[in-house]
């Protein structure tokens, strides 16, 4: 069983530095799922996320700048400052997640366990999420 297979897990990707610069890497075998989709956010001016997924798992990576992740497991909120390249956040299914306070030039990479099929896997109402997560 993968040690990241929790509902919420913050971790760091391995970073290699030398005179040329820095390289952060993720072997997909190290992730708690096989990625089916990747996307990234940049030039972000408003709260992103604001939902939970019934089945989908995701890993969010701070590529540049910083932003705040807010996650809720059905019982309590947790706030995580994503503030360095390679800092990553895993969210399992049925975890409410939202992102805000994006710095100028911040970039967030997301890896998903599913292909995008519209919002049928999404729970978009927080009260509904709390009811379903009991």
| Consecutive 10-residue averages of pLDDT for the chain (134 residues) | 62 91 86 93 96 96 97 95 94 97 96 94 95 86
Residue 6 confidence (pLDDT): 56
Neighbours of 111 (CB within 10 A): 21
The CATH number that domain 8-132 falls under is 2.60.120.10
pTM of the shown model: 0.91
Domain definitions of the chain by residue range:
8-132
What is the reported pLDDT for 2? 43
């Amino acid at each position: 069983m993968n040690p990241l297979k929790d509902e919420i897990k913050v971790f760091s990707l391995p970073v290699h530095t030398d005179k040329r610069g820095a390289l952060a890497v993720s072997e997909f075998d190290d992730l708690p799922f096989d990625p089916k989709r990747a996307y990234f956010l940049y030039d972000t001016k408003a709260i992103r996320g604001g939902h939970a997924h019934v089945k989908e798992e995701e890993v969010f990576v701070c590529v540049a700048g910083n932003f705040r992740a807010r996650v809720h497991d059905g019982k309590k909120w947790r706030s995580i400052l994503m503030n360095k390249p390679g800092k990553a956040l895993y969210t399992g299914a049925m975890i409410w997640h939202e992102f805000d306070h994006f710095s100028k030039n911040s970039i967030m990479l997301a890896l998903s366990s599913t292909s995008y099929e519209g919002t049928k896997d999404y729970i978009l109402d927080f009260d509904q999420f709390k009811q379903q997560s009991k």
